[in-house]
Amino acid sequence: MARDILALRANSMGELIPAGMTAPIRMLEALDEGKHVGMLVDQRFGRGPRVPFFGRPAASNPLIARLARRFDCPVHGARAIRLPGGRFRLELTEAVTLPRDASGRVDVEAATALMNRIIEGWVREYPGQWLWMHRRWR
């Protein structure tokens, strides 16, 4: 079943990189090749910085911020909003202005916190459309 779903998605979504130990390397390689990458950023990542999420520290994945720092590439937010009749509206933000440190490089922890604030805003806008199946704040 999973193989069939991946085959269906591949025609419209490009190459899918499964989560796992090699995912960061494959994302780095994709950026090296001039490709675009996307990632779910509202997931708990135990080895990441603890940044505010709905007013509480939450372990967060800094990978997108680290990639932006390394490649100095734009970062956009993307979301799908459920509409009546089984339809969806896809939204892509303008490039997010990521915080930078004194040397002008992307500040990974501050950028990760900013991405969490963007997700918070989306959740507040459509709270019924979000479901976390993991304990984000543990």
CA-CA distance, 98 to 107, in Å (whole number)?
8
| Residues 65, 108 contacting (CB under 8 angstroms) | yes
The predicted pLDDT at position 109 comes to 96
Nearest to 40 by CA among 107, 134, 105: 134
pLDDT tens for each residue of the chain, 138 residues long: 777 877 777 777 777 787 888 988 999 999 999 888 988 888 888 888 999 999 999 999 999 999 999 999 999 999 999 999 999 999 999 999 999 999 999 999 999 999 999 999 999 999 999 887 777 788
If you search the block for the tokens 């001039």, which residue do you land on? 34
Quickly list H helices, the chain. 2-13, 23-32, 63-71, 108-125
The predicted pLDDT at position 80 comes to 92
Q: HEC string of 91-106?
A: EEEEECCCCECCCCCE
If you search the block for the tokens 């007013």, which residue do you land on? 55
Quickly list H helices, 14-107. 23-32, 63-71
Residue 106 backbone phi and psi in degrees, to 5: -55, 130
- Cα atoms found within 13 Å of the Cα of residue 100, Cβ hemisphere only: 10
| Residues 78, 90 contacting (CB under 8 angstroms) | yes
The predicted pLDDT at position 42 comes to 84
CA-CA distance, 34 to 64, in Å (whole number)?
15
